[in-house]
Amino acid sequence: MSYIVVSDVHLGGKCNHKEFCEFLDWVHGLEKQSKTIKCKDKEVLIKKPDKIILLGDILELWDPREGDRDCVIKDCMRTFTMLSGIACDKIYVIGNHDDSLGELDTKIDYETLPNGTKFDIYNRHYPEKDQKTGIASGLKVGNRSYFFLHGHQFDKEQAVLAYVSDLIGQSWNPLGWFQDLLSITFTKKNWKINFVIFLVLLLGGWYSLWVLFPPPGFLSTLVWAAVTGFFAISSIPGVVAQAQGKIYGLTKPIDKTAEQVIEDEYYKKSKDKIEADIVVFGHTHFASSYELESNRGKKLFINSGCWTGKDTEIDGKMRYANTFIYIDEGGAYILKWLGPGNINCIEAFVF
């Protein structure tokens, strides 16, 4: 058994689309020939995967380039065609930037692709929890068990969204709602001028109805409110989309290492119902690992990194872009894609 895990490609956003497609082409090539790479002083044989796990935020539905979701479709065409062609099953775990796909979990049930392989979507994590006990057991590979989730579940900010979503029984995400509204062609094309019209109507209407010619009549107030409201919802989503990049830049726990995610109270030990030796997650764009020792034993957390941006040094530690995880019976490896066939080993866990 061997798995390849990737997360946080953010297709349609500021992503390393070209590199990711080259990577998929290389994965496809593993069917013909396995590849040996050096991890420290050990040689690791990378075989054709039995499964590819797409671990969330593969699509950028919150903050696409120029606020235009068409960019997501554009980036997906090549990517998903290539993915389909790879002779292994694909598991898509939903993240936060693609959480509006969550409902597909029940609609897509191991769809068969033209080459006979399967594609399935998991809303929260892979594998699914046990319905009765609520316990999530891992997937056995070799002598270790693995559990996969995107990782926004470890976030403080995301906890609020999850709480409300649970309460109302459907995915609640205000930014997603604004992005949906922005996808209306009229809004997408004209939100700036619409915003000016909205402001003119708001202030001009108020001034003429209440200051110049008071008291305002019922019908004129109604017409004014309706037209102003129309221009409000046809422009404010654009303003929000512009601002949200900046807001998220301040609040998102991006660039946190696995250690920071687990130790900075993001992860709640007491609430953990994951029974697996290794938890694989993404979300923070920082390929890294952390071993947590508790009275329940040791648990290894591995972050799969991302396919956005460039390699950057953060607090003396390298945050690599274009990373993936390879898992087989022998262990788990955090790897970095440098170009066709050129792969660096970041961390190796040999069991």
Q: Which chain residues interact with Mn ion by CB under 5 A?
A: 57, 95-96, 283
Q: Which CB sits closer to Mn ion, 96 or 288?
A: 96
* In the complex, minimum distance from the CB of residue 258 to Mn ion, in angstroms, rounded to a whole number: 14
* In the complex, minimum distance from the CB of residue 191 to Mn ion, in angstroms, rounded to a whole number: 26
Q: Which CB sits closer to Mn ion, 102 or 238?
A: 102
| Distance, CA of 149 to CA of 282 (rounded, Å) | 8
* In the complex, minimum distance from the CB of residue 283 to Mn ion, in angstroms, rounded to a whole number: 4
> In the numeric block, which tokens belong to residue 49?
């995967």
* In the complex, minimum distance from the CB of residue 97 to Mn ion, in angstroms, rounded to a whole number: 5
Phi-psi region of 333 (alpha: psi -120 to 50; beta: other; left: phi over 0): beta
Q: Which CB sits closer to Mn ion, 37 or 104?
A: 104
Q: Which CB sits closer to Mn ion, 155 or 277?
A: 155
* In the complex, minimum distance from the CB of residue 210 to Mn ion, in angstroms, rounded to a whole number: 46
> In the numeric block, which tokens belong to residue 326?
């390879």
Task: Determine phi and psi for 164, rounding to 5 degrees.
Answer: -65, -40
- Classify residue 100 as exposed, middle or buried by CB count within 10 Å of its CB (0-12, 13-18, 19+): middle
CA distances from 240 to 68, 100, 138, 181, 232 (A): 13, 18, 39, 11, 12
* In the complex, minimum distance from the CB of residue 339 to Mn ion, in angstroms, rounded to a whole number: 26
Q: How many CB atoms lie within 10 A of CB 148?
A: 30
Q: Which CB sits closer to Mn ion, 274 or 306?
A: 306
- Nearest one of 148, 128, 152, 151 to 279, comparing CA atoms: 148
> Which of the 8 DSSP states describes residue 204?
H
The residue of the chain with the least Cβ separation from Mn ion equals 283
Q: Which CB sits closer to Mn ion, 87 or 254?
A: 254
